[in-house]
Amino acid sequence: MNRIFDTPTPDLNGTSLLITGGTGSFGQAFVKNILDHWAPNRIIIFSRDELKQYHMEQTIPKEHKDRVRFFIGDVRDPERLELAMREVDIVIHAAALKQVPAAEYNPFECVKTNIHGAENVVKASLRAGVSKIVSLSTDKAASPINLYGASKLASDKIFVAANNISGSQDTRFSVVRYGNVIGSRGSVIPYFKQLITNGVESLPITHPEMTRFWITLQQGVNFVLSSLSIMNGGEIFVPKIPSMKVVDIAKTLAPDLNHNIVGIRPGEKLHETMITIDDGRTTLELKDRYVIEPAFAFWSNAHLKSSSDVGPVDENFEYSSNNNTEWLSVDDLNQMIMDIELND
């Protein structure tokens, strides 16, 4: 059940990569992984926070400093993006305004970053002749009920449709969509841990039946890399990952603490979905992931069907955190948290 997603692997030796939002949790883990396993020509960190860039630069080993470039910029700025993408082979688009309450309160800013930013990344990639672009999405983009999810759904549509306008140009766009990242900044586990450290008498629970998909940061990095290796353009890749009730996470971290039911927040779902019933009609199942195929007349899935482990999903298939066939146990979660802490 604890899949690694480390195959197939792309050959990134001698390539030039750019990561938007590269100073975030994913970007930092992604860069470390690349430097540990390949010898790229250069890795460009494209982000707007100079302080985060400064702190990240201090973590780059001396022998790799000449490979990593820090580029101040915003995905809202198409000219800056185009400058940064010159002679770049691969773009990983991780920049987003992703906190649900912040997006609800600042809708125009959310649209500018998540939707207009996606458009800018697509146009800059085409103009610069980038070979492959992978955009990071979220389970909140399937049947969204909040602006963040809706903006990421729009972003997904933009990246999938971008393959229609690349023409004969060898530029391909795909999307990866996964759930909550265990231990990432802003997620529930660090939040609960901080409350426990502060000596609270109870942990806030929105709803006792609330479920979420869970993935580790390393699994997320591996999933992006392996999807990059098999992409043909237009796919939305969805990993097979386990679910767990949020209340069970609280019980795992603090078995003796009481729970305070605070109610579901605006824009929050009781359960998350990664593949809707409608998307299921165009979904293929692989050994460790699902692939939502694009509705292109010219698109072929021959590169996926070459494996004996590939086939269509069942009729009326829906991939939601409450109907998942795989669930994290207390031991599973504790092991994942231990692995994360050992690697920090």
Distance of CA 336 to the CA centre of its chain: 18
Q: What is the pTM of this model?
A: 0.96
Residue 183 corresponds to which tokens in the numbers above? 């231990």
Going by C-alpha positions, the residue among 100, 46, 103 that lies closest to residue 77 is 46
Residue 137 · residue 177 · CB < 8 Å: yes
Largest CA distance in the chain: 62
Report pLDDT for 344. Answer: 62
The domain locations on the chain are: 16-179+214-241+273-325
Residues near 297 by beta carbon (within 8 Å), at least 6 away in sequence: none
Q: What is the pLDDT along the chain (344 residues), one digit of tens a residue?
A: 579 999 999 999 999 999 999 999 999 999 999 999 999 999 999 999 999 999 999 999 999 999 999 999 999 999 999 999 999 999 999 999 999 989 999 999 999 999 999 999 999 999 999 999 999 999 999 999 999 999 999 999 999 999 999 877 899 999 999 999 987 777 899 999 999 999 999 999 999 999 999 999 999 999 999 999 999 999 999 999 999 999 999 999 999 999 999 999 888 999 999 999 999 999 999 999 999 999 887 778 887 876 668 899 999 999 999 999 999 999 999 888 887 776 66
> Phi and psi dihedrals of 225, rounded to 5?
-65, -45
Place of tokens 């985060």: 52
Give the Å distances, CA to CA, from 68 to 64, 96, 110, 139, 293: 7, 22, 29, 31, 34
What order do you get walking across the sheet with 132-138 strand by strand?
68-72, 42-47, 16-20, 90-93, 132-138, 172-178, 236-239, 289-292, 283-285, 311-312
User: Could you tell me the fold of the domain covering 16-179+214-241+273-325?
Assistant: Rossmann fold (3.40.50)
Residue 137 · residue 213 · CB < 8 Å: no
* Strand bridging mode 90-93 / 202-205: unpaired
Going by C-alpha positions, the residue among 76, 19, 9 that lies closest to residue 42 is 19
Residues forming the active site: 140
Question: What is the residue type of 172?
Answer: R
Report pLDDT for 1. Answer: 59
Q: Is 297 exposed, middle or buried (0-12, 13-18, 19+ CB in 10 A)?
A: exposed
Report pLDDT for 26. Answer: 95
